[in-house]
């Protein structure tokens, strides 16, 4: 059976649909999760698994609940920042007491009674809320509506506004654009454990100059006065306050070391507020505590780097003056224990601690890699400095949730030859209890195509500085003597694409059309430590292209690869890389598709761009070298440019400038724009059209 683009994006989904947002109930009797509906790939339903009886059922079918209204602009923005492209139950959480669950459905807040299954909406009709959360003891639910922070008292079923700003540039309890998109801080408020205090942000975008952005839809053009923080320009002003929930008074904190510091992370550490600030040039990260009672700051530690300091979410308070922390101060991301003023390193060697998942007085469970960066495993790290223990041993990518006692965990495992299994596992005995999984038998939607499935292979190559480059290669199922290959590239920092996991179905679409697909994580990619990331500092699109050419050299050594038919394709940073590959190695790449590409980094935002290039004033040469425009004159291969015409991340201006430059240089190219689409281009009809066009382009030109 022919594998088509239309079928790839149709229902039921062909790709394995494993559970997401897996959680243990507070009493440990249930496991809950969200799962894609079999009849609608864009809808998430809530499921539950009873551990004792091993029974699974759909708890809330979101299709049975009507939407209240269309998405607000703020909600559209938040969904784009978090890459949330589903409908239905988009988030949920357990009440700390375990009596009920909080669900967000179409912008409305619902409470689900665990005993009766009664589902009740508690937010005002025809309104849309974001970031709904229980307070630590479950007495309140807080959320943001129309840029203000609200509190719902559960026992009295009463809502009250905690802020009442009505100026368009002000928002309360919301993370701003930069915090969400580039710092991955999605929260704008934080409860103290005793519910006496609520810390929250008040963001004013007034310092950011207004730039009119066109959102071109099919039947109209909207002029959006967007406050976009271009590299080198002003950022929003972020205040941090602590509200006394009894008196209603808010105390605004002077948390910055320098005027233009970023508010990177906020947590409560017992009675004190733990605040992480990052310098504008991102070479300094400071952790300090604010004592509410004494109204005094206490410096805890600082991180520094000649290039940049990566942010993380691993601060974990252990009581009194003890906390866990991850740092790259020795070159790799390792776990540290701070006790008083003493900082002790707990993990060592070539590897990376990605997330702290659970802690008790004796040990911490962490996810990460020690051995191969293409895998993710679960480790137990003794807090007394003892040897680290590997808990999961199966090769692949493990996403883990540990229960409150640290005795068992949910393991979501996938690998190149394993579409995915979810199981409940014991930490001590290793016993396993299946919860969900994907068997590609005759009942699975992908079964008609399994006989033509091509399992990718993993491998390593060597960069010019001696560092190891990992790649994933998907060869055509039926190999002849000569096949074209598409280099599917991202190449940007903070991302690791090459993994031992069930690969995207898009790769199968290409290979069944006779294309090989090469993916390689070049230097600059994330999760590999400072030495691997830092070569891109002050100059983007240089060593990344050099490393991709190492991959091409390997491809040319394979008997089934036609060395004269190599293409390249990427989205966002991958679009930038596509243009750089075509322009810097025109004799190698014969065709390329650049989707939503960055063309000039001075048009991108502050936090991301300045992390790698500093400001345009301080590194003008670096910005010039990192722009695609000086190299376009060398472009010889066929080029297809694609962009959403309402993109608020990589602005459509990046592509219109490319159109003009290519036309001025009399360089032919193809283009496709998508009215109304933003950066992700995730609409189903857009996806079908886009990938049909990409396949057609490569079939014509390779």
Residues catalogued as catalytic: 572, 647, 679
| Residues in Cβ contact with 144 at an 8 Å cutoff, skipping those fewer than 6 apart | 74, 129, 130, 131, 150, 171, 172, 173, 174, 188
**22 in Cβ contact with 35 (< 8 Å):** no
SS3 content of the chain, % helix, strand, coil (to 5): 15, 40, 45
Query: Which residues are 137's β-sheet partners?
Result: none
**In angstroms, rounded to a whole number, what is the distance separating the alpha carbons of residues 318 and 313?**
15
Instruction: Give the number of other CB atoms < 10 A from CB of residue 477.
Output: 15
Closest CA to 328 of 530, 468, 537: 530
The torsion angles phi and psi of 295, rounded to 5 degrees, stand at 55, 50
**192 in Cβ contact with 205 (< 8 Å):** no
**159 in Cβ contact with 150 (< 8 Å):** yes
**In angstroms, rounded to a whole number, what is the distance separating the alpha carbons of residues 513 and 2?**
9
**72 in Cβ contact with 128 (< 8 Å):** yes
Please state whether the peptide bond connecting residue 12 to the residue before it is cis, i.e. omega within 30 degrees of 0.
yes
Angle among Cα 591, 593, 596 to the nearest 5 degrees reads: 155
Three-state helix/strand/coil letters over 65-81: CCCCCCCCHHHHHHHHH
**In angstroms, rounded to a whole number, what is the distance separating the alpha carbons of residues 404 and 687?**
41
**In angstroms, rounded to a whole number, what is the distance separating the alpha carbons of residues 331 and 534?**
11
Helix axes 573-584, 543-556, angle to 10 degrees: 70
The H-assigned helical ranges of 338-486 are: 447-450
**In angstroms, rounded to a whole number, what is the distance separating the alpha carbons of residues 470 and 459?**
6
What does the block give as tokens for 156?
A: 């009295």
Which residue's structure tokens are 């759909």?
Answer: 58
The torsion angles phi and psi of 575, rounded to 5 degrees, stand at -65, -40
Closest CA to 513 of 482, 481, 478: 478
| Residues in Cβ contact with 339 at an 8 Å cutoff, skipping those fewer than 6 apart | 321, 322
**In angstroms, rounded to a whole number, what is the distance separating the alpha carbons of residues 666 and 663?**
5
**Beta pairing class for 561-571 and 591-595:** parallel
DSSP class of 292: T
**Cα dihedral value 656, 657, 659, 660, nearest 10:** 120
């Amino acid at each position: 059976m022919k594998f088509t683009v239309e079928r790839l994006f149709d229902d039921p989904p062909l790709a394995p649909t494993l559970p997401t947002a897996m959680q243990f109930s507070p009493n440990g009797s249930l496991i809950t999760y969200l799962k894609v509906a079999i009849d609608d790939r864009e809808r998430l339903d809530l499921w539950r698994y009873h551990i004792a009886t091993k029974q699974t059922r759909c708890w809330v079918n979101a299709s049975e609940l009507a939407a209240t209204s269309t998405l607000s602009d703020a909600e559209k923005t938040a969904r784009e920042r978090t890459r949330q492209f589903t409908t239905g139950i988009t988030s949920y959480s357990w009440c700390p007491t375990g009596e009920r669950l909080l669900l967000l459905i179409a912008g409305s807040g619902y409470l689900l009674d665990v005993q009766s299954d009664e589902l009740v909406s508690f937010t005002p009709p025809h309104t849309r809320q974001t970031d709904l959360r229980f307070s630590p003891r479950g007495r309140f639910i807080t959320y943001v509506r129309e840029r203000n922070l609200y509190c719902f008292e559960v026992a009295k079923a009463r809502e009250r506004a905690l802020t009442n700003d009505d100026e368009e540039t002000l928002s309360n309890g919301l993370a701003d654009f930069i915090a969400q998109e580039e710092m991955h801080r999605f929260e704008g408020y934080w409860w103290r454990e005793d519910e006496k205090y609520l810390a929250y942000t008040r963001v004013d975008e007034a310092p950011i100059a207004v730039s009119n952005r066109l959102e071109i839809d099919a039947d109209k053009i909207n002029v959006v006065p967007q406050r976009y923080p271009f590299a080198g320009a002003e950022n929003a002003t972020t205040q941090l306050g602590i509200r006394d929930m009894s008196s209603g008074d808010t105390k605004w904190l002077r948390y910055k070391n320098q005027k233009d510091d970023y508010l990177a992370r906020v947590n409560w550490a017992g009675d004190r507020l733990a605040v992480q600030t990052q310098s504008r040039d991102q070479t300094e990260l400071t952790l300090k505590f604010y004592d509410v009672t004494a109204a005094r700051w206490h410096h805890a530690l600082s991180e520094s780097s000649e290039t940049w300091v990566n942010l993380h979410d691993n601060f974990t308070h252990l009581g009194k003056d003890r906390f866990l922390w991850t740092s790259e101060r020795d070159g790799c991301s390792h776990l540290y224990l701070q006790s008083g003023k003493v900082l002790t390193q707990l993990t060592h060697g070539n590897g990376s601690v990605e997330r702290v998942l659970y802690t008790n007085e004796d040990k911490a469970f962490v996810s990460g890699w020690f051995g191969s960066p293409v895998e993710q495993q679960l480790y137990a790290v003794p807090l007394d400095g003892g040897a680290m223990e590997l808990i999961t041993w199966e090769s692949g990518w493990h996403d883990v949730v540990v229960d409150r006692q640290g005795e068992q965990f949910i393991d979501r495992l996938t690998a190149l030859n394993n579409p995915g299994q979810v199981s409940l596992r014991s930490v001590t005995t290793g016993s396993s209890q299946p919860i969900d999984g994907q068997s590609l038998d005759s009942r699975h939607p992908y079964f008609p195509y399994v006989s033509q499935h091509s399992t990718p292979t993993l491998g390593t190559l060597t960069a010019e500085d001696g560092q190891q480059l990992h790649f994933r290669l998907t060869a055509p199922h039926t190999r002849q003597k000569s096949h074209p290959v598409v280099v599917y590239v991202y190449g940007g920092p903070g991302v690791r694409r090459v993994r031992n996991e069930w690969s995207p179905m898009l790769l199968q679409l290409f290979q069944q059309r006779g294309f090989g697909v090469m993916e390689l994580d070049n230097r600059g990619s994330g999760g590999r430590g400072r030495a691997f990331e830092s070569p891109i500092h002050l100059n983007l699109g240089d060593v990344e292209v050099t490393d991709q050419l190492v991959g091409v050299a390997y491809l040319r050594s394979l008997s089934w690869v036609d060395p004269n038919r190599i293409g390249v394709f990427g989205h966002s940073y991958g679009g930038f890389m596509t243009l750089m590959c075509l322009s810097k190695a025109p004799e190698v790449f014969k065709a390329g598709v650049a989707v939503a590409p960055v063309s000039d980094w001075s048009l991108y935002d502050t936090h991301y761009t300045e992390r790698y290039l500093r400001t345009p004033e301080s590194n003008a040469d670096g910005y010039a070298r990192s722009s695609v425009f000086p190299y376009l004159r060398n472009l010889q291969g066929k080029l297809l440019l694609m962009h959403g015409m309402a993109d608020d991340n990589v602005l459509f201006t990046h592509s219109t400038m490319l159109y003009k430059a290519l036309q001025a240089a009399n360089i032919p190219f193809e283009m496709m724009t998508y009215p109304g689409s933003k950066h992700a281009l995730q609409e189903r009809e857009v996806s079908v059209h886009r990938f049909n066009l990409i396949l057609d382009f490569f079939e014509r030109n390779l």
